[in-house]
Amino acid sequence: MFTVRCFHILFLILATYSHAVSITVGSCNLWNVMFNWKTRVQHIADIIKENAIDIVAFQEVRLTEKEHPRMISSQVDEFKLLLPEYRWFVVKSAGVVAMNSDAYRTEWGQEGLAILSRKQILSSSVISMTKASSSDRNPRVGVQVKIRLGPDIEDVVDIIVVHFSYDRQQQCQNAVDVLKITSGFQGQNIIILGDFNIYPDFEAPVELFTSRRHSACSVSSSVTSLRGLFKDVWLSAGRRPQEGLTFSNMPTPGLVSRPDRILVSRNITVEDAGLAGNGTNYRKYYYQNVIISRAKTVLRTSFDAFMGRSGYSCLQDCGPHGSCRCGICISGGNQDNCNVPDCVECNSFIFVSFLVFLIPFAICLLVLFFSVLKILIVSTKVGHKDILELCGYRCCLFNKNLFNFPTVPRKYKIKATQLFCLCRLPPVLLLLVMLASLLVLLLLMRWFFHKDIQLIYSLLPEEMFPSDHLIVFTRLRL
């Protein structure tokens, strides 16, 4: 009898483990559109793939209206292109962003929360946060989604994405609002994750979820029974709190707090937890992309000046250590701000000058290509007909006769040759002349645009990070 019971218990344990579903979830504060978003999104997508994160929650997600008033685009659209296997997503706006009053660029005017998943999202809703009388005027919401993890009806998880207020009193109220929502969930698999904005000396809002001890947050008796039903995955994975710091990327004082948390129901098993996005790989692999992105922004801003636009040119505030010039943030303090078209590095004259240099540069490149091609033809003794054969111009629509222009009289050919007399030079000499011309043009451009180059390379230290928060993720078994 005892043996039968042992086998029965063992069978139940094995059945439970065989049915268990493992998932990896993560939280990432996108840092809105700060600092070269098109480059940052590539690295964040790489982190998601490298760590096999199934479900990722985003905070500080910017949204913008397209040409059609009802067409809304968000930063999550970029991830959909880079991560096509993540077929399900939800984006919810919290409200309008306060922008610089002088800004002439009005895109990305809303901010909110989002969730991206390669597991099926069954439903979603917005959690309204009570507006407490505090210094924080930013609208706060939560996003709740129900996600199917497996084929069985119980293979469902409720996930809540949050971005709490930075005001301590309002943080407590935000926590109470979320706790009340969880009381209505039928299942036991609940995950709450996001940016809790928690300070090292005030963890009371999170403790409402993880502890039943006395809290610095005043709560009603109806909420007391809901306390202590969750656990912090970082601590449950056996990690020390000091190892889980995620904010901020500023060189001074550096990582000082752990606002990014993942809380799960106590019945969920935490297998592991980790952090990503410390900037090492981003700096190593994307430095040139950042420089190119900044150069494009300066050129676009000079075009804006050429088109008559004026005002603040950055999409974001550059903070206490940076200034906005020509659409980018530069180091050296916050006293060097200038509005378009007053910046000498990106006025209309700079844009016209760039075109003046670009045209001869393009011509030199074209002639250089011609000289190299001519050298190859002469060196290999390839005939005109052989080239056509290699290019496939002797079949179907690639027949060269289909693309022939009318015959040009000899006298016009002579005039054209006089205009392009350089092309009559010996191939090697032509190659050397073009290389020398390109070198001279590059040196002239470097001298003429030296202020722009200096501006482009004046990076803030925090610009070499994919976000001002580290990404926290965990592997769970439900």
43 Cβ neighbours under 8 A, 6+ residues apart: 277, 281, 282, 285, 286, 466
172 Cβ neighbours under 8 A, 6+ residues apart: 204, 205, 208, 216, 217, 218, 219
288 Cβ neighbours under 8 A, 6+ residues apart: none
The series of mean pLDDT values per 10 residues for the chain, 478 residues long, is 55 52 94 91 94 96 72 87 94 87 86 94 90 77 92 86 92 91 82 94 92 84 83 94 89 86 94 92 91 95 94 88 93 90 93 94 90 79 61 55 55 56 77 92 95 94 90 93
Query: 3-class SS at 329?
Result: strand
Cα 137 from Cα 167, distance rounded (Å): 10
pLDDT of residue 395: 56
pLDDT of residue 375: 81
pLDDT of residue 130: 78
Do residues 116 and 86 touch, judged by C-beta distance below 8 A? yes
Please, what are the domains in the chain?
Answer: 22-281+464-477 (3.60.10.10), 350-453 (no CATH)
How many CB atoms neighbour CB 413 within 10 A? 11
* Inter-CA distances, 438 with 36, 268, 355, 361, 365, Å: 30, 64, 15, 7, 8
201 Cβ neighbours under 8 A, 6+ residues apart: none
Do residues 147 and 133 touch, judged by C-beta distance below 8 A? no
